[in-house]
Structure 1
Amino acid sequence: MLRGVDLMRKLLQTSLVISTRRIANTAFNKHLFITNVTLSLSLSGMGDVLQQHHNIAYKQQATWDITRTRHMTCTGMTVGALCHHWTVMLVTLRQVVVLCVVSVVVNGHDWGWGKCPRVDHSPNLSSDQLLGQWYVIEQFDTSSTCLTLNYTRVSPTQLKVTKSRQLVLLDSLRIEHTNSYTGTLDIPDGDKSGKMRVKWPLNIAGKADYIVFDTDGSSYAAVFECQQLTRIGHRASATILSKTPTLDAAIIAEIKKKMTDQGLDTHDFDVIDHSVCIRREDSDLNINIDEDTFKKIIGDASDSFKTIASQVMTFLQVANGASNFADTVVDVTRRLGASTNGSSDTSAAVLVDPDVELLA
Structure 2
Amino acid sequence: MSAVYLLLLLLPLISAQTYHWGACPTPKLQPSFNLQQYLGRWYEIEKLPASFARGKCIEANYSVRKDGTIRVLNAQFYKNKTRTAEGTAVVHDMREPARLGVSFSYFTPYSPYLILTTDYTSLAVVYSCIDILRLFHVDYAWILGRSRFLPYETVSYARELLMNEGIDLYRMKATDQRGCKDN
Query: What is the TM-score when the length of structure 2 is the normalising length?
Result: 0.81
Report the residue type matching 1:195 in the other structure.
Answer: R
Change (3 A) 1:265 1:121: same
Report the residue type matching 2:75 in the other structure.
Answer: S
| Aligned 1:277-296 pairs, distance under 5 A | 277=180
Report the residue type matching 1:114 in the other structure.
Answer: G
More strand per residue: 1 or 2? 2
The alignment partner of 1:259 has SS state of helix
| Aligned twin of 1:160 | 71
**How far is the alpha carbon of 1:165 from its aligned partner?**
0.3
Residues matched between the structures, number? 167
**1:132 equivalent in alignment to 2:40:** yes
Report the residue type matching 2:140 in the other structure.
Answer: S
**1:181 equivalent in alignment to 2:85:** yes
**1:266 equivalent in alignment to 2:177:** no
Q: Deviations over 1:12-49 (max 9, x none)?
A: xxxxxxxxxxxxxxxxxxxxxxxxxxxxxxxxxxxxxx
**How far is the alpha carbon of 1:112 from its aligned partner?**
2.0
**How far is the alpha carbon of 1:245 from its aligned partner?**
0.8
2:62 to 127, 139, 151: 151
The alignment partner of 1:253 has SS state of helix
| Aligned twin of 1:221 | 124
Change (3 A) 1:157 1:227: farther
Q: Which runs of 5+ in 2 are unaligned?
A: 1-12
Q: Deviations over 1:72-115 (max 9, x none)?
A: xxxxxxxxxxxxxxxxxxxxxxxxxxxxxxxx8xx963122222
| Aligned 1:186-335 pairs, distance under 5 A | 186-201=90-105, 204=108, 206-277=109-180
Mapped partners of 1:114, 1:271: distance in 2: 26
Report the residue type matching 2:134 in the other structure.
Answer: R
- Whichever of the two has the greater Rg, that structure is 1
Superposition misfits of 4+ residues, deviation over 3 angstroms:
none
Query: What is the TM-score when the length of structure 1 is the normalising length?
Result: 0.43
Report the residue type matching 1:255 in the other structure.
Answer: A
Change (3 A) 1:224 1:193: same
Q: Deviations over 1:108-150 (max 9, x none)?
A: 6312222211011101220011111111111112542000010
**How far is the alpha carbon of 1:202 from its aligned partner?**
8.9
Q: Deviations over 1:46-88 (max 9, x none)?
A: xxxxxxxxxxxxxxxxxxxxxxxxxxxxxxxxxxxxxxxxxxx
User: How high is the sequence identity, in percent, across the aligned residues?
Assistant: 23
Report the residue type matching 1:187 in the other structure.
Answer: V
**How far is the alpha carbon of 1:219 from its aligned partner?**
1.4
Q: Which runs of 5+ in 1 are unaligned?
A: 1-103, 171-175, 281-360
Change (3 A) 1:256 1:203: farther
Report the residue type matching 1:239 in the other structure.
Answer: W
Mapped contact 1:177–1:278 kept (Cα < 8 A): no
**How far is the alpha carbon of 1:229 from its aligned partner?**
2.9
Change (3 A) 1:183 1:248: same
- Which protein, 1 or 2, shows the higher relative CO under an 8 Å CA cutoff with sep ≥ 6? 2
For the aligned residue pairs, the C-alpha RMSD in angstroms reads 2.3
More helix per residue: 1 or 2? 1
**How far is the alpha carbon of 1:256 from its aligned partner?**
1.1
